[in-house]
Amino acid sequence: MSSFDARPKIYTPSEIKSHYEEFCQSVKKRYAFIYCGSKSEFCINSAIEFSRILKEYCNFNCKIIVNQSSLINEFEIYLDDSFKDVSYLDFIFYYIGESQYNKNKNNNNNNNNNNNSIEFIIENANREQCSFNKIIDLIDKKEKDLQSSLLKHECYITFRKLYILDLNTSNDGINPIESLSSLFKNQQQQEFYRPKMGFNSGILYSPIIGDHSVRVSNQIELSSFTSILIERITSKSSPGRRLLDVAGIMANELFEKFIETHCTNIHIYQELNNLFKVDLDMESNLKNKFEILFLSSAQIASFIFVEKKLN
C-alpha cells in the first residue's frame, strides 16, 4: 500500500465550524458612520471618542461628521463610496444629538409601526430634521444592491447592521409625568420606541430620560450613554464586549439614572401613585418596560464589539 493516502480528510462538525469562522474573519470588513448633530462640546467629544474606540479596539473603518453638513446628503455620499468588493460586513451607524418622536397616528394597523419614527434634529444652519426610517431605507437599498451584484457570481452577502442612537429628547414636548405615566398605560411598551428594522439589524438606544446627562471620562466630558458604552467595550472582561451583555449592563446603569432623574422627585412620585396606585412596585414595573436594545435576528445577537483579545 502506498505511503501516500489520497483519501480526503473528514472534518468533525466543530472543526468545520472553526474553519468557517476563520474564513469569515478573514474576509469580514467593518465600517462605521458617526454623526454628531449637536454643537454641544460633550456631544462632539462623545462622537470623536467613540470613533477612536471603534478604530483602536474594534477594527472599524470610521467616517465621522459633526453637524455642519446635511445628514442625508452626507450619508448618501458615504454609501455610494463605501463597501466595495465586500461580502461579509459589520456596519455601525451612530448618531448623537437632539431628537423627537414622530407621533404619526395615520396608520390604523396597530401591528405596523412603520409610521412611528425618531426625527433627528441637526443643529446646522437649516436646523435640518431627518427621519431615522430614512436612514434604515438607505441602508436596506444598499444591501439589496450589493446582493444583486454578488448573485452574478453566485455569492451571498452577510450584512450585520447595528444602529446606536444617543438621543436628547428633552425638547419634544413630553413632560416627565406624561413620559412616565404612559409606561403604565401601554402594556405593549410602545412608549419606548419600537423601530422598523431590516434583516440582521440591531438598535441600541437611550430611552426617554430627558436631557443628555454628562460624565467625565479621562478628563473629558462625554454623554452618559456613550461613556457607559465605551467603558463596556474597553473592559478587559470578555462578556463586556458582547452586544447582549453590553446592553444588559447599560440598561441597569441607565435605569438607575432614570429613577434618579425622575422618581426621586416627590411630586412626580405622588402623581404617579395617585394615577396608578403603583407605590412600592413602581420601580419594578418601570424596569420591566425599560428596553434599550432591539434585535431582528440571531446573527446580530451574536455581534461582538472587540474580536481580538485586549492586553
The pTM assigned to this predicted structure is 0.80
Mean pLDDT throughout 259-266? Answer: 65
Q: Is 210 helix (H, G, I), strand (E, B) or coil?
A: coil
d(CA 210, CA 86): 40
pLDDT digits (tens, 9 = 90+) for 100-121: 776 554 444 444 444 456 788 8
Cβ atoms of 109 and 98 within 8 Å: the answer is: no
User: What is the mean predicted confidence (pLDDT) over 213-239?
Assistant: 84
**What is the residue whose three cell numbers read 422598523?**
196
Q: Measured between alpha carbons, how far is 193 from 177 in angstroms, rounded to an integer? A: 18
Distance between CA atoms of 213 and 166, rounded to whole angstroms?
A: 11
SS (H, E, C) 2-16: CCCCCCCCCCCHHHH
Amino acid identity at 205: Y
The answer on pLDDT for 310 being more than 80 is no
Percentage, residues of the chain above pLDDT 90: 24
Q: Which residues of 3-42 are buried (b: 16+ CB within 10 A; e: fewer)?
A: eeeeeeeeeeeeeeeeeeeeeeeeebbbbbbbbbbbebeb
Cell of 159: 450584512
pLDDT of residue 238: 66
| pLDDT value of position 239 | 60
Q: Which of 154-158, 189-193, 250-254 has the lowest mean pLDDT?
A: 189-193
Grid coordinates representing 42 are 460633550
Q: Identify the residue with better confidence: 2 or 247.
A: 247
Q: Kindly state the average pLDDT of the residues 168-181.
A: 59
pLDDT score, position 138: 93
Stretch 82-105: mean pLDDT, rounded?
Answer: 81
What residue type is assigned to position 68 of the chain? Q
C-alpha cell at 276: 396608578
For residue range 237-260, list pLDDT tens digits in order: 766 688 998 998 888 888 777 777
Indicate if the pLDDT at residue 173 is higher than 80. no
Hey, is 130 helix, strand or coil?
Answer: strand
Section 179-207 average pLDDT: 64
The pLDDT score that the predictor gives to residue 265 is 62
Mean pLDDT of 284-290: 68
Computed from CA positions of residues 167, 172, 175, 178, in that sequence, does the dihedral angle turn out positive or negative? negative
- Please list, in sequence order, all residues whose beta carbon lies within 8 angstroms of the beta carbon of residue 290, skipping any fewer than 6 positions away: 192, 207, 251, 254, 255, 258
179 has pLDDT over 80: no
What was the pLDDT predicted at 106?
A: 47
pLDDT reported for residue 305: 93
Minimal CA–CA distance to 250: which of 294, 205, 285, 209?
A: 205
- Residue 256: the pLDDT is 79
Residue 69 pLDDT > 90:
no
Identify whether the C-beta of residue 212 lies closer than 8 Å to the C-beta of residue 43. Answer: yes
Residue 209 confidence class, pLDDT cut points 50, 70, 90: low
- Top-confidence residue, 284 or 202: 202
**pLDDT of residue 144 exceeding 60:** yes
Confidence of residue 51 (pLDDT cuts 50, 70, 90): very high
User: Which residues, at least 6 apart from 241, have a Cβ–Cβ distance to it below 8 Å?
Assistant: 232, 233, 235, 304, 305, 306
pLDDT > 80? residue 46: yes
Q: Is the pLDDT of residue 294 over 60?
A: yes
Query: Between 187 and 208, where is the model more confident?
Result: 208
What does the block give as the cell for 19? 474553519
